[in-house]
Structure 1
């Protein structure tokens, strides 16, 4: 007959060395602490890299110079949209992290290894970014580092809100060469209004993540006190007119934003590609603070 002490020891040895429940975009997930991680989301990679987590597989384009150190350490496993499933399987990962553009690949990648969707929202971007940071800290045993980064993020949010307060309204525009889209509360860039308190200069409608296609007449009529601008072409490394060239238009010249030189050109890759990564969002908040507080 097995003694209680021996039974307890056998149960302990049979249990996983680590298991923790973390929050994801699809709800809570219980995972063992991973060692071999493949990452298909730049926001996730941004936060994981800030925590000192080195993935074994990443996408073919990393967009930021501070990821250069990964090029010789991690294998390429496809694009943000299309995984190379053979390459992923060959790495034998014990965790795959997806989000945003790669979220549609959840089922296919889950057949290879445990997969978590860490998509970050629009209006809730800062809250989601903080939640993802906490989850990664818990999962990888980096709670202290995550807490330090969270404190920096909280300070940056407070500084940006203080800089914006009482400075008038704003319009968030995405330029793509000669084309423009507007983003208001509820959109992918709506956090600038809802999280930071910048009043919207005009109501906008939108579908999905593309915003409302607008004209120069729309911008003139809205007459924002501030224009907050994201250059998509620059973010995806395409050639074409810059955001400033696009907005250098007689109708835009009539706005308060242009007359007062209240044009805020946010780092395009941080906004468009890595939105919600802790390093990217903290940097963007610093840009906003400098622009509105200057």
Structure 2
């Protein structure tokens, strides 16, 4: 069996990039090296040239009146967006940081704001942000957060991503580009994401293989259909579902080995939640194997893909995570 689950090693070290002092504004937070050296076609943002940006989102309307200098990102997707745009942050939750953002874990200039699902509001307040970025995972704190700073909700649907998942991500990226005067970089990232989606669809288009997306959680499995957090795998990337009638929402439908055997998928993508959320052993072919699963076409043809669970589970709605997901989808179609 092929295995594509990346091991996460948190990188220790002091990574400080001193930002130029902008008249009338506080010094910006230290930016990890990998993001600080990204190429940019945009000129340095100038507060005096800033045009207020009004953002309408699912929780309300947010007006950004000044160029943000101290940004708090409460979701790893938001951290990745800012990393792609070369925007420093002052704080983020550090409980589950994906490997492709690992340099943020111990960066001394970036404050730990608690947990992704339950951010520490006292720490958020102490970080003195002038812009806060959240998703539905932090939506129940929206009113309290707006009392601290303008707060923007990323309207990605983690329960049902079948409709416009990629466009929502592109729109959010361009919106952040407008706010930070980074529209050139944002357009470049949007173009690269579009190319990656098209590359994947060229592989899946017209292919008869049917796939299951399975979530492993402490020895049990759940399946995700078209109307679920992984609906975009089928609707956006063109993968044919092995069980199209299953509506599974956020956590998936608990299934048995008999279900997998009867669905008889040609490809199985395994997302190992336990490995990333509880730091337990990673699921592999030896641990997953049983007589029923061995009967599936996916098992017989070596098309059980143990994916990068940090990209699929912790994020799945950002530029970096979608690039990883696309490559692993393609892997499932390779002989």
Residue 294 of structure 2 contacts residue 300 of structure 2 at CA under 8 Å; is this kept in 1? yes
- Structure 1 residue 160 corresponds to structure 2 residue 194: no
Any stretches of 5+ residues in structure 1 without a counterpart? 1-14
Shift of 1:21: 2.6
- Structure 1 residue 109 corresponds to structure 2 residue 145: yes
- Cα-to-partner distance string for 1:242-264 (whole Å, 9 max, x where unaligned): 15345311101101111111112
Shift of 1:237: 4.3
Aligned to 2:239, the other structure's residue is in SS state coil
Q: For 2:143 and 2:286, how far apart are their aligned partners in 1?
A: 42
Identify the residue that residue 214 of structure 1 maps to in structure 2.
255
Identify the residue that residue 285 of structure 1 maps to in structure 2.
326
Identify the residue that residue 90 of structure 2 maps to in structure 1.
56
Identify the residue that residue 44 of structure 1 maps to in structure 2.
78
Structure whose CA Rg is larger: 1
Q: For 1:84 and 1:190, how far apart are their aligned partners in 2?
A: 31
Residue 134 of structure 2 contacts residue 154 of structure 2 at CA under 8 Å; is this kept in 1? yes
Residue 41 of structure 1 contacts residue 98 of structure 1 at CA under 8 Å; is this kept in 2? yes
Higher mean C-alpha deviation, range 79-88 or range 185-194? 79-88
Q: For 1:178 and 1:246, how far apart are their aligned partners in 2?
A: 9
Q: For 1:104 and 1:118, how far apart are their aligned partners in 2?
A: 13
CA root-mean-square deviation: 2.1
Aligned to 2:63, the other structure's residue is in SS state strand
Higher mean C-alpha deviation, range 23-32 or range 214-223? 23-32
Shift of 1:30: 2.8
TM-score by length of 2: 0.78
Q: 1:213 to 1:287 in 2, by over 3 A?
A: same
TM-score by length of 1: 0.88
1:276 to 310, 317, 329: 317
Identify the residue that residue 14 of structure 2 maps to in structure 1.
none
- Cα-to-partner distance string for 1:47-88 (whole Å, 9 max, x where unaligned): 111111111011122423443433222111111122222211
Any stretches of 5+ residues in structure 2 without a counterpart? 1-47
Q: How does 1:108-147 map to 2 (within 5 A)?
A: 108-121=144-157, 122-123=161-162, 124-147=164-187
Higher percent of residues as helix = 1
Q: 1:240 to 1:68 in 2, by over 3 A?
A: closer
Q: How does 1:13-24 map to 2 (within 5 A)?
A: 17-24=50-57
- Cα-to-partner distance string for 1:5-41 (whole Å, 9 max, x where unaligned): xxxxxxxxxx994301335344653322311111110
Shift of 1:135: 1.2
Q: 1:246 to 1:128 in 2, by over 3 A?
A: farther
Aligned to 1:172, the other structure's residue is in SS state strand
Aligned to 2:227, the other structure's residue is in SS state coil
Aligned to 1:170, the other structure's residue is in SS state strand
1:30 to 60, 63, 66: 63
Q: For 1:21 and 1:62, how far apart are their aligned partners in 2?
A: 31
Q: For 2:155 and 2:287, how far apart are their aligned partners in 1?
A: 31
Aligned to 2:54, the other structure's residue is in SS state strand
Shift of 1:272: 0.4
Identify the residue that residue 4 of structure 1 maps to in structure 2.
none
Q: For 2:118 and 2:135, how far apart are their aligned partners in 1?
A: 13
